A and B are shown apart, each in its own frame.
Chain A
Amino acid sequence: DIQMTQSPSSLSASVGDRVTITCRASQSISSYLNWYQQRPGKAPKLLIYAASSLQSGVPSRFSGSGSGTDFTLTISSLQPEDFATYYCQQTYNSPYFGQGTKLEIK
């Protein structure tokens, strides 16, 4: 199985900050990676698919990049509603998720 490792596991930042979250695959997955946001007590929400494609309705401050084994999710200017947990998901074979990155207010 392909393992997905996110870093950091948690992150403190302030409104307006630029934030980057990393997801690393244990083997190459080309660009077959999605990013989800989950607010407390809510269902996950798709942000980015195929590594860099922004899902309809998602603010443009969110962006994704990478291919092969290393991927990043960037939030260009944090807004209060962005404090949540973020998960990557590989789609190369089985739909496994990374362990999550909790983004907290500093």
Chain B
Amino acid sequence: EVQLVESGGGLVQPGGSLRLSCAASGFTFSSYWMNWVRQAPGKGLEWVANIKQDGSEIYYVNSVKGRFTISRDNAKKSLYLQMNSLRGEDTAVYYCAGQVVVSATNWYFDLWGRGTLVTVSS
């Protein structure tokens, strides 16, 4: 069974740090671009960051640049998101998503985890 399972969410104070993990199983993790997508309570989807299969390319949404770091360990079939200097607006459910790439402009997210909730509050 194909699975992505996120963990590491919780309550953190503003300015604090948190590290999210996403464990993959049932598919060839090292063949996928991987992403983090978040959803604030009652709001829409926001792409956060992605990483190429070998980690050689990484991209972030502007609002998290310099604060968040995406990484992966293909041997452990795991994706990570290190989140520093957290703000209230980072409160969201964080999903990891696997990306199928057909071409540079033709790709889609066809694998999703169930998400982990991050709450930034004092």
The answer to whether B44 touches A91, judged by C-beta atoms less than 8 angstroms apart, is no
B14 interface residue, CB < 8 Å from A? Answer: no
Task: Report the bound CA distance from A50 to B113 in whole Å.
Answer: 22
Interface of A is mostly: loop
The answer to whether B110 touches A55, judged by C-beta atoms less than 8 angstroms apart, is yes
The answer to whether A95 touches B110, judged by C-beta atoms less than 8 angstroms apart, is no
Residues of A within 8 A of B61 (CB): 94
The answer to whether A43 touches B95, judged by C-beta atoms less than 8 angstroms apart, is yes
Task: Report the bound CA distance from A85 to B113 in whole Å.
Answer: 18
Question: Given A43-B95, A43-B114, A45-B112: A50 and B106 within 8 A (CB)?
Answer: yes
Whose C-beta in chain A lies nearest to the C-beta of B93? Answer: A43
Q: Which of A17-25, A74-82, A96-104 contacts B (4 or more CB under 8 A)?
A: A96-104
Contact mask for chain A residues 23-37; partner B; CB cutoff 8 A; 1 contact, 0 none: 000000010101010
Whose C-beta in chain A lies nearest to the C-beta of B45? Answer: A97
The answer to whether A95 touches B50, judged by C-beta atoms less than 8 angstroms apart, is yes
A44 interface residue, CB < 8 Å from B? Answer: yes
Binding site for A on B (CB under 8 A): 35, 37, 44-47, 50, 59, 61, 95, 97, 102, 105-110, 112-115
